[in-house]
Structure 1
Amino acid sequence: MPRVGGVTEQSEQPAAEGEVAPVRAPAPRARILLTLAQELLTVEQDPLPRMSRPRWLARLPHAVVIYAAIFFAFLTAQQMGEHYDDYGGIPLLAGLLTGTSIVLAMFRPIGGWWFGLLAAGVTAWSVRDNVGPGQTWPWIPSGLFAFAPVLLLVALRVPPRLTVAAATIPVALTGLAELMSKPEHSQTSVLAALLVFGFVGLLGYALRATRLARGKLVEQETITEEERARRTLLEERSRIARELHDVVAHHMSVISIQAQVAPHLVENPSEELRENLAGIRENALEALTELRRVLGVLRSEQPDDPANPHHPQPTLAELEGLVDNVRGAGLAVTTEIAGIRRPLTPGVELTAYRIVQEALSNCLRHAPGSRVEVGIAYGPRELHLCVANSAPTRPAPPSHGAGHGLLGMRERAGMLGGELTAGPRPGGGYEVSAVLPMDPETKRTDEDA
């Protein structure tokens, strides 16, 4: 195996002069210990969450923790005085540190853990010279159980590896302290610390795992509910698309064919008749094209995607064609545009076009023979629309619609943060006016602020 041997010999050669030896990446175990040390030194804020239900007990865990902090603070100072004959300022400081560590663990668990170790260290240092036969050291009984809620609050909100470290380090420090300076005739507290801290760590880990699993379940149920609602919406849109295709598209195709065939059924049709029938056919074909786009939107899973080729997006640039169609139907329409005409966002362009289109359709249905004025004003931040008609010169035919045109216009304007008003004019006739923001997103941000 000469090749392997050559590689081995080459790897054992020292680096040439001037060459930089490659830096070895840290071993996985060293990297884990380094990450663990960084996490133990990160005292970031992580408040204890409220109870979700019942709502009137939302702050109960916080009240219990504060009560435990006050209880163990007094108990620590009392035991240091009565059991270890340690009076003065140090027991008060140790009790204060003990209570502070429990309260701090509600908001910064790792910070509270460090304060708990500090309180235990101050307590052990203060009572060491007063430890009698049968008494425990370095943990006094109250201190051992006072550190338990701190460890529980840590285990509830940190990863398992950090919980293991938070429970192991106090036990290791306890054993180290006993090896180095254990008072004579004192009892060991290593076993008690191992049992209490191990049990509390496992309890916190189990509660945390249960809470995370419940949160995942709620999240999955929410996603499932959203998917179900989305599927129901897609099914309803598909049903509407089928109805439109089977009914409306069929009738529009028949109108187009009849308008095309009609001139051949009349001897010597006049030019005016030919133009009217050609206009009917052209409008029917245009309606079919628009209907196919609408059907594409209804059958699409992402109807709001601007990249959707079926998305109907007429703009104000096509306003003249719309007005010409209305004029061809026998309505006198004049247009007036004020301000600097410029392209707007697709949503504003589409909404403005649809509002003018619906208003002109209402004039055709409800005000035959009237004069219609269409006004568009480009302002600095808003687009103003106005469609006004005079009193009709002849009675309007009965309408078979449900009267949803004005409602649809108001909804379109409201979706962009605009306003629409409609009502009769003082001198007779009707007027529809709308104000649309040039940049709907900016207006929504300002309103939220």
Structure 2
Amino acid sequence: MPVRTVLDGRVIRFPRPHRDGILLGVTGLLGGVLLWGLGLHTTDFRELLPSWVTLVPLTVMAFLELLRRSCPRTALIVGTVALIADQFTHGNLATVIMFTDVMYAAVVYGTPASARRIPVTTGLITVAITIAALAWLRRPEALLIGVVTGLVSFAPALTGATLRNHREAAEAARLRAEQTALLAEIDRNQAIAAERSRMARELHDMVANHLSAIAIHSTAALSIGEPKASTDALTVIRENSVQGLSEMRRLIGLLRDSSGDQEPAVAPALDGLEALLEKARTFGGDSGLVFVLDDGRESGGRLPAPVEMAAYRIVQESLTNALKHASPGTVTVALTHTDRLLTVLVTSPYGERPGPRAPGSGAGLVGMQERVTLLDGELEAGPVTAGDGTKIWQVRAELPAEDDTELSA
């Protein structure tokens, strides 16, 4: 735990020294004492002060090694004063060596501003001292003073700046790699969610109308006592069971294909609406429903496959909902294609209906909304009042669609 003290009611925390600083401080202090004991000094000012004074800058510099990480700027300032003071004593090589480490640590562990300024400052100081020494001594040997100054100050600062730049570059690369991995994970999750939604829509659209017809006719078969009506209902049930099973097998085949290149044998398109309505007439005839197709598109025009498939599925789901919930009357499917916009309008009688009804889950409306949203279109579904004052259920989808024949031309 960090050392704490109380001053004027405030708790001041002192960070625990790093083990590297402790090792460097103890080693430098012991080495300096050994050099002092052997009488190995670095300056000629031996007559000004007693020999033991050399140990004062040495001790201060060894203590500053403990602060090299936690307070690098303070350690550098005090260390500079201790180094200058050492030059007016007998001098100790260990003090100079520890100062180079303090200079290095000030660049590596200091603030970014200090890391930029210290190498420039020490470089200018080295040049200035070299020029001053040459001007004062006027001998080539004066260059050695500049070299020693550069080795003590500029060289460790430059080394620290180089190491810090490498560390920052490595950290930036690590952050970029983490961000890339995070984005990849987000994309993967979105792709999985989109694929699950697509599978849910396809499964619902392929099988829901068949199961709805089965539910309605099986209820009718159980409630009607006439043998012929029961036989007709069971025939419809069998047909829908076979078709639903075929659709399920086709979907399972697509899911098991690992290549991802397999597509449905026959993609649903608007050309198949008449056959779709014919099935609806067969299933809904006993419920008093009449199905009418009003195709206002120009003949021969081809729309993009995703648009045709979405429009087909919207009509299919609307017809399925009509078979489940519509009261007796006319169900109208109207298509118009103008100004690069395909409009799908499905209306059905809205109100209480006699006879059996199949339960609904609301997944069909969700699937239609998802299909329209993927194409940047608009969808409206709900009860409205017709021109004659009657209530109808209306599904209106507007899908942006350019004619493929125009694009190919």
Scaled by the length of structure 1, the TM-score of the pair is 0.45
- Structure (1/2) with the larger strand percentage: 2
Which of the two has higher C-alpha Rg? Answer: 2
Scaled by the length of structure 2, the TM-score of the pair is 0.49
